Structure 1
């Protein structure tokens, strides 16, 4: 259902664009920069959200609404609001949170792109990239790849001005500390892999996430029931960004691989206010979080799939069946 609805939404968006807009937003599925991505400031390939009319914005939002939960959409608007606060650009309440990108400065910082032909039978993809947001959807033979997926925020908490005290991506931090503080001393000794947090996520914006970069940490199987409940809530902050069917499939995949094989690793400060980092990693799943820059007021968080970022496994099965 989501696949066909997304195809329809993409085609409606493309049909609404003029030739100049369409040339910016489209690229072949096998374009050489297919797996290039970043969460740093700067331009990207694609069509700036600022170039969309109000009607086109609604069509673009339809793509997001099909793939993402309401909470994820709130997080995405929050990322844009934080960008506005950081740069002192436009009014965050009237622009980012209403979804009104047309002609705005913040709209110039986020880029929408469609790879391949949604009307055909071959794989296709869409992505929304900009500073502190990177969303990648790949569609192959009725299945969806949802990663890499990145949400970040600078500031994590507004320290001055009319929105002082407002926080972004707060649960990712609060649940991480809650789980850490729920650990027994022996468990903490295993989970705390370094007294110093890395400057950034260990896998950064690498096209392929390398599991060897990660610390193992404390296995889920060694947690008590109360700790497992917190762990599940924290894991749900990442999986819960996906629309219901996609998130459910991810939970099923993790369970089939063995949820007891997931591990929780922590580095850095054990109380808020100083640099800290954690990861949740398993055979296929990875979530990384860091809050180290700008006096620990600058969040990065990512969801990766070691097996199926960019639809790797889906594409392998597609080509193995001779469908190309």
Structure 2
């Protein structure tokens, strides 16, 4: 495999006007006082999940075997290639890492989706399919052929093997899957999920790819009392704060401690965390849920804008020693329609530490 770095800086000029999609441009956290952070020292880690990699390795092998030598080379990177950290979440006419879905035959595309299905949980995979469908709906709505599920890419960093270190990356405008495996250890982060439109129809069927996430956010914020909302509120934020590259910086902790909430409210925090962590294979997600919940005495909830996630400008953050989840309704440039961005990261095991 050759080492390559893909430079992806051009933004598609569409009527969506995606200025809110660019990393690192969000507002500050002015309303709630910052508190001293309790950050772990990053170490090589990951979840010990024996057997998880086998189906991924098999699916990846079948997909790669279906490709021509040229496409197989394009999909393959060294495990330590810096391009791994260069995923982006805005539409671009420049190629991302790997092979575009639009360059695949129907059979090859099905095999690529089979890799994603092996990596993710059932709900995570269905969400991915919904995000792809939303991208096609967005392109049709804006009469823009550059906005399409064809512009989503799949790449492999390292040769997929049960003991070898490798990462499966699926990246497009509103999706970043970065799941890393090595000798029984797994990391499902960093992960980005967004969607626009958020509610649409395909063949007469209603599709809402991020409904489980927004419902969990709504339930949590609806369950907080006036004083708790005041303690957790921070200043206006117009997008997720932690992206990639230069914006891979965490702000100071702010908001209210999870353990200062009542038992039912804490269960609603658990539901929010599970809505994101549960996109991963359940054999990976369940141990992580236990680890994150054990740190709730050092985990904070913060929000801004509106307590209704379907109001543009609404924002929620779950911020623990390791765990970082953000949800932002960035709206759509020029009108008040909904447009979601979200990120799930683990400070200790992103990219497997």
TM-score (norm 1): 0.83
Distance 1:161 1:53 in 2: 22
1:160-175 alignment, distance < 5 Å = 167-175=208-216
Distance 2:349 2:342 in 1: 18
Q: 2:349 aligns with which of 288, 308, 312?
A: 308
Distance 1:270 1:65 in 2: 33
Q: 1:205 aligns with which of 221, 244, 249?
A: 244
- Does residue 132 (structure 1) correspond to residue 174 (structure 2)? The answer is yes
- 1:29/1:57 Cα in 2 relative to 1: closer, same or farther (>3 Å)? same
Give the number of aligned pairs.
Answer: 294
Deviations 1:155-188 (A, max 9, x none): 2234x99879753312322322221121122211
2:244 is paired with a residue of what secondary structure? coil
Contact kept, 8 Å, 2:101 with 2:150, in 1: the verdict is: yes
Q: Which residue of 2 aligns with 1:218?
A: 256
Say which structure, 1 or 2, has more relative contact order (CA 8 Å, 6+ apart).
2
2:279 is paired with a residue of what secondary structure? coil
Distance 1:204 1:76 in 2: 19
1:1-324 alignment, distance < 5 Å = 1-42=51-92, 43-88=95-140, 106-119=148-161, 121-158=163-200, 167-194=208-235, 196=236, 198-206=237-245, 209-211=248-250, 213-256=251-294, 258-271=295-308, 272-294=310-332, 295=336, 297-312=338-353
Contact kept, 8 Å, 1:89 with 1:106, in 2: the verdict is: no
Please provide the CA RMSD for this pair: 2.6
Deviations 1:16-35 (A, max 9, x none): 21111112111111223221
Moved segments of 4+, more than 6 Å: 160-165
Distance 1:229 1:301 in 2: 21
Distance 2:330 2:141 in 1: 24
* Unpaired segments ≥5 residues, structure 1: 91-103, 313-324
Q: How many Å apart are 1:309 and its aligned residue?
A: 0.8
Contact kept, 8 Å, 2:196 with 2:338, in 1: the verdict is: yes
- 1:65/1:24 Cα in 2 relative to 1: closer, same or farther (>3 Å)? same
Deviations 1:300-321 (A, max 9, x none): 0111011111111xxxxxxxxx
Contact kept, 8 Å, 1:220 with 1:263, in 2: the verdict is: yes
Q: How many Å apart are 1:107 and its aligned residue?
A: 4.0
TM-score (norm 2): 0.76
| Higher helix proportion (structure 1 or 2) | 1
Deviations 1:250-285 (A, max 9, x none): 1132144x2232211001123443411010110111
Distance 1:177 1:107 in 2: 29
Contact kept, 8 Å, 1:292 with 1:298, in 2: the verdict is: yes
2:83 is paired with a residue of what secondary structure? coil
* Unpaired segments ≥5 residues, structure 2: 1-50
Contact kept, 8 Å, 2:135 with 2:147, in 1: the verdict is: no
- 1:162/1:252 Cα in 2 relative to 1: closer, same or farther (>3 Å)? closer
Contact kept, 8 Å, 1:145 with 1:308, in 2: the verdict is: yes
Deviations 1:45-82 (A, max 9, x none): 21111222333233323322222111111111111111
Contact kept, 8 Å, 1:37 with 1:207, in 2: the verdict is: no
Distance 1:179 1:190 in 2: 14
